[in-house]
Homo-oligomer: A and B are copies of this chain.
Amino acid sequence: MKIAVVAPSNPLSREAADQVQAIARARGDCELLVHPQCFLSNGHFAGSDGERLAALLEVMANPSVDAVWFARGGYGSNRIAEAAVRDVPQAARSKLFMGYSDTGFLLAALHKANLSVAHGPMPQDAIRDGGESAVGRALDWLVGRDQASLEPRLRPPAMAFNLTVLSKLLGTVLEPDFTGVELLVEEVSEHHYRIDRLMFHVTASANVRSAARIRLGRASDIPPNDPDFGADEQAIAAYWCEQAGIEMGESADIGHDSANKVVPFGAQTG
């Protein structure tokens, strides 16, 4: 199968691209088409908004591409997400789109446009500690819908977002309907007080309150709170879920790390 890699946020590193290509070649069950746009650089981004959007629309419209794999997060997919789904080509409807972190803006928009999307590891994860297993897990899902790649306690329909991305989706045209959805969230590099502020904001939403439950994944690389916040991220999430009358489910096996599992959006699990 053919998997196109585009970078709607930050550029992919050459090192990660080489490693993920080597992994794919060794498997022999897929061909990675790493779009040259992945290596463009324009200020913060992997090329201008126009360049990133054009690459994405090109692979969406390409009938020989079976899946679109977002190269990495960072920041910037929100700037092209609305335009990406304005006129969805028919060829996009049979593809699976995968990413996480900042690309959650795009996952939300594509899901809302009735395309098939999943939260899961990305090519740039290849250079993490244990990155080969993350890439392998993502490819196992993209190529063969391997159930072993899935978050193990998933009760679909589900969605997964970085907590900051979820907060910034609310009230925008990208915001999906969370009614009855198991909502998994994870965070990275945010202080406990910021996680508290994010949970305050997210759980205030009537749409989020219509979710079946919230499950917190890993919050990693938390900078020291000075003084100590007084509660950890699981206690913070539980507090705000209780305030909002939202069920708090068990911890989720997702996060900014190589153990990050796949969460297909919606009712799909295969």
Pick from A194, A204, A227 the residue with the most CB of B within 10 Å. Answer: A204
A231 CB within 8 Å of chain B: yes
Main secondary structure of the interface of A (DSSP, over half): loop
A196 to B10, CA, bound (A): 14
Residues of B with C-beta under 8 A to A229: 43-44
Kindly provide the distance from the CB of A201 to the nearest chain B CB, expressed in whole angstroms. 4
Kindly provide the distance from the CB of A219 to the nearest chain B CB, expressed in whole angstroms. 16
A39 CB within 8 Å of chain B: no
Kindly provide the distance from the CB of A57 to the nearest chain B CB, expressed in whole angstroms. 19
User: A200 contacts which of B78, B197, B231 (Cβ < 8 Å)?
Assistant: B78
Kindly provide the distance from the CB of A149 to the nearest chain B CB, expressed in whole angstroms. 29
A167 CB within 8 Å of chain B: yes
A192 CB within 8 Å of chain B: yes
Kindly provide the distance from the CB of A189 to the nearest chain B CB, expressed in whole angstroms. 11
A170 CB within 8 Å of chain B: yes
User: A168 contacts which of B41, B76, B201, B230 (Cβ < 8 Å)?
Assistant: B201
Interface CB pairs A-B, < 8 A, 18: A41-B227, A43-B227, A43-B230, A44-B192, A44-B193, A44-B227, A44-B229, A75-B193, A75-B194, A78-B197, A78-B200, A167-B167, A167-B168, A168-B198, A168-B200, A171-B171, A171-B204, A171-B205
A residues touching B (Cβ–Cβ < 8 Å)? 41-45, 74-76, 78-79, 164, 167-168, 170-173, 192-194, 196-198, 200-201, 204-205, 225, 227-231
